[in-house]
Amino acid sequence: MASQNRQPRPDPVASTALQAKAERTVAKMQWYYRIGQEANVAAGRATAAKSRATTARWAKKYRINHHSMGLARAFARQYDEGELADLCSLRKKNGLPFHSGFLPFLLTIPCKTAKEKAARSRVQREAAKKGRSDYETYCQIRRKRGQEPKSSGGRRLAWLGLREFIRNTTNWVGRCGCRPRRS
């Protein structure tokens, strides 16, 4: 009886692996921020064409695609050191911080004023608390703006398939003569 009330011990190997993954994820976010800052300083007040050239040059230097480099530059423009530290300190339900896949969605939130930055911070904290994925976070951002969340594409067949499965299962159960008992 007493053994049923005991909490299972956490697996030290799993927690060590989780910690290592969290550290790698935070290091990558900080790296994106750092290279974005460097590229922004190098670009200065360049024209759009020179800015694209700077992005391409820095992307080649760090061996990432130009889209990721543009994302790093936007990240460095919209976040300051304190906001970066806050973002990296947040943990989702699984114990991991936000990964770089969240950046495109978080950067869609306007953040020119202190009020907008506070709103972005609330979205981040709420996403971490509820354990939302990057796409779920984006859907929440769109809902807060009064927009319909974009679908992930494809046809919606889940309910049709489920109904057909239930109907066929009922037929199969009826044929074998093993109807479930009603209580």
The type of residue at 179 is: R
| Each residue's pLDDT tens digit, 78-99 | 999 999 999 999 999 888 999 9
Phi, psi of 109 (to 5 degrees): -80, 120
| Predicted pLDDT at 155 | 59
pLDDT at 68: 92
The answer to whether 26 and 88 have CB atoms below 8 angstroms apart is: yes
Position 102 pLDDT exceeds 80: yes
Q: Which amino acid is at 78?
A: Q
Task: Give the C-alpha separation, 170 to 133, whole Å.
Answer: 35
- Of the candidates 175, 103, 100, 108, the residue with the CA atom closest to the CA atom of residue 145: 108
CB atoms within 10 A of CB 117: 17
The maximal CA–CA distance of the chain, rounded, in angstroms, is: 78
Report d(CA 152, CA 159) in Å as an integer: 16
Judged against a pLDDT cut of 90, whether residue 124 lies above it is answered with yes
For residue 13, the model assigns a pLDDT of: 52
Q: Out of 14-18, 44-48, 51-55, 121-125, give the one with best mean pLDDT.
A: 121-125
Q: How far apart are CA 39 and CA 70, in angstroms?
A: 9
| CB within 8 Å of 130: residues ≥ 6 apart | 93
Q: For residue 165, is pLDDT > 90? A: no
Residue whose structure tokens are 């907008």: 116
| HSE (side-chain half, CA atoms, 13 Å) at 62 | 21
* Domain assignments of the chain as residue spans, ordered by start: 12-149
| Number of separate helices (H) and strands (E) present in the chain | 8, 0
